[in-house]
Amino acid sequence: MNTVQSVFGGQGAEGAQFLSLMTLFTVVTTIIYLLVLAYLALALWRRRRTEHTVESGDHAAEPPPQRTALIGWVALVNTGLIVLTVASFLTDRAMARTASSPALEIEIIGHQWWWDVKYTGADPSQSLETANELHLPVGVPAHITLKSADVIHSFWVPNLAGKQDLIPGRQTDISIKPTRTGLFRSQCAEFCGVQHTHMALDVTVENRADFLRWYRAGLQPAKAPTAPLAKAGYAYVMTRQCAMCHNITGTEAGSHFGPDLTHLASRRSIAAGTLPMNRGNLYGWVADPQANKPGSKMPTLGLEPNELHAVVAYLETLK
């Protein structure tokens, strides 16, 4: 059983509450189901001393015991439903409380088909923008504002919490309090177009020190490349199509149409979870995005081999 994308994970404050509510529902509904099956089996295969059929001549009979049983059954079903409704309501309230007084403000903007992630502090110089990855410190309630740049998406980290849609023209939000560290996977849960499938978000829950280290590193601009090949790649990225869409902080590439690439090489995956991050996949992706993610907004540029080597070499420096 996987532990990176599962509602059974329970690594968020909500996860544990979800699990206990799910258990209650499963127990109650299973009992009801078994009762139905038992009654059905008995009704079908019991030995009959008396029957009320056309052939026996009293098919209109509705004996009092069955009438009483019907009332009992309705009472039982009602009781079960009331228990479940109240439990559901109380859990919902408890979930809303667990992540109150957030210590971290994050804004996530859904795009076809990637996630723009912004850590918005009170001090603008401490604001961090990244893409397709979400780092959270364990035990700290995070408040995430959700927006969409185009169509409806849905934010869902099953290990940590339930879903929340990102709706154009509206602003929604979700609060998450991770309780255990780990690496998780999240995936857009509302059909959002041709590459809905490849719109994943890598979630990292880490201890406070690791989170701060990552955060500080993220605030740094990209380092200028030193190796000749990477320099050539840098020149290509700055002067050709790449800079039209992507931002690399510390360089002239400042567009926000596509995902931020400032620390691309430090991420776990390429193109919103389409490929795991490694050199081979970087080659594959840069050479032909449309083969890896057909319909993606990133065109296949048709780089010459020497250009491809150079661009990948440069991207690998973006740690």
Partner 1 sequence: MSAAELARDGPTLHGPELAARLERSWSRDPGLLGWLATVDHKEIGRRYLVTAFVFLALAGVLALAMRVQLARPDQNIIGAARYNEIFTMHGTTMMFLFAVPVMDAVAIYLIPLMLGTRATSFARLNAFSYYVYLAGGMLLWIAFVLNVGPDVGWFAYVPLSGPEYGVGKRADIWAQMVTFTEVAALSVAVVLTATILKQRAPGMSLDRMPLFAWAILVTSLMVIFSMPSVALASGMLLSDRLVGTQFYNPTENGDALLWQHLFWFFGHPEVYIIFLPAVGFVSEITATFCRRPVFAYPVMVMAVVAIGLLAFGLWVHHMFATGLPRVGYSFYTAASMAVAIPTGIQIFCWITTMWLGRPRFDVPFLYVVAFIVTFVIGGLTGVMVASVPLDLQLHDSYFIVAHFHYVLIGGAVFPLLGAITYWYPKVTGRLMSERLGKLSFWLLFGSFQLTFFPMHLSGMLGMPRRVYTYPAGLGLELPNFLSSIGAFIVALAFVLFIANVFLSLRRGAIAGPNPWKAGGLEWATSSPPPPYNFAHVPSVGSATPLWDGPLKWMSGLRVDEKEMLLTTVVSARPDLREPVPEPSIWPFISALALTVMFVSSIFSPWAVLFGLVPLGVALIAWFWPKQLEPTAEPVIE
* Site residues (CB under 8 A) for partner 1, limited to 175-234: 185, 187-197
| Cα gap 269→214, rounded to integer Å | 16
Minimum gap (Å) between residue 93 Cβ and partner 1: 9
Q: Which residue number, 163 or 256, has a Cβ lying nearer to partner 1?
A: 163
Q: Which of 48, 64, 226, 305 binds partner 1 (CB under 8 A)?
A: 48
Q: Which residue number, 66 or 220, has a Cβ lying nearer to partner 1?
A: 66
Q: Which of 11, 130, 132, 164 binds partner 1 (CB under 8 A)?
A: 164
* Site residues (CB under 8 A) for partner 1, limited to 111-150: 112, 150
Q: Does 288 bind partner 1 (CB under 8 A)?
A: no
Q: Does 281 bind partner 1 (CB under 8 A)?
A: no
| CB 131, CB 245: distance < 8 Å | no
Minimum gap (Å) between residue 309 Cβ and partner 1: 27
Minimum gap (Å) between residue 87 Cβ and partner 1: 8
Q: Which of 143, 163, 297, 309 binds partner 1 (CB under 8 A)?
A: 163
DSSP assignment string, the chain = --SSS-TT---BHHHHHHHHHHHHHHHHHHHHHHHHHHHHHHHHHPPPS---STTTT-TT---HHHHHHHHHHHHHHHHHHHHHHHHHHHHHHHHHHHT-S-SEEEEEEEETTEEEEEE--SSGGG-EEEESEEEEETT--EEEEEEESSS-EEE--TTT---EEE-TT--EEEEE-B-S-EEEEEE--S--STTGGG-EEEEEEE-HHHHHHHHHHHHSPPPPP-SHHHHHHHHHHHHSTHHHH-B-TTSS-B--SS---TTGGGSSEETTTTEESSHHHHHHHHH-HHHHSTT-SSPP----HHHHHHHHHHHHT--
| Cα gap 159→182, rounded to integer Å | 10
Minimum gap (Å) between residue 259 Cβ and partner 1: 19
Q: Which residue number, 152 or 219, has a Cβ lying nearer to partner 1?
A: 152
Q: Which stretch binds partner 1 (CB under 8 A): 90-98, 211-219, 224-232, 277-285?
A: 90-98
Site mask for partner 1 (CB under 8 A), range 96-115, x = bound: x---------------x---
Q: Measure the CA angle with vertex 283, ends 221 and 183; round to 5°.
A: 60
* Site residues (CB under 8 A) for partner 1, limited to 16-35: 17-18, 21-22, 25-26, 29, 32-33
Q: What's the gap between Cα 79 and its chain centre?
A: 35
Q: Which of 110, 137, 158, 233 binds partner 1 (CB under 8 A)?
A: 158
Q: Which of 16, 138, 149, 167 binds partner 1 (CB under 8 A)?
A: 167
Site mask for partner 1 (CB under 8 A), range 239-278, x = bound: ----------------------------------x-----
Q: Which residue number, 33 or 257, has a Cβ lying nearer to partner 1?
A: 33
Q: Which of 27, 68, 77, 79 binds partner 1 (CB under 8 A)?
A: 77
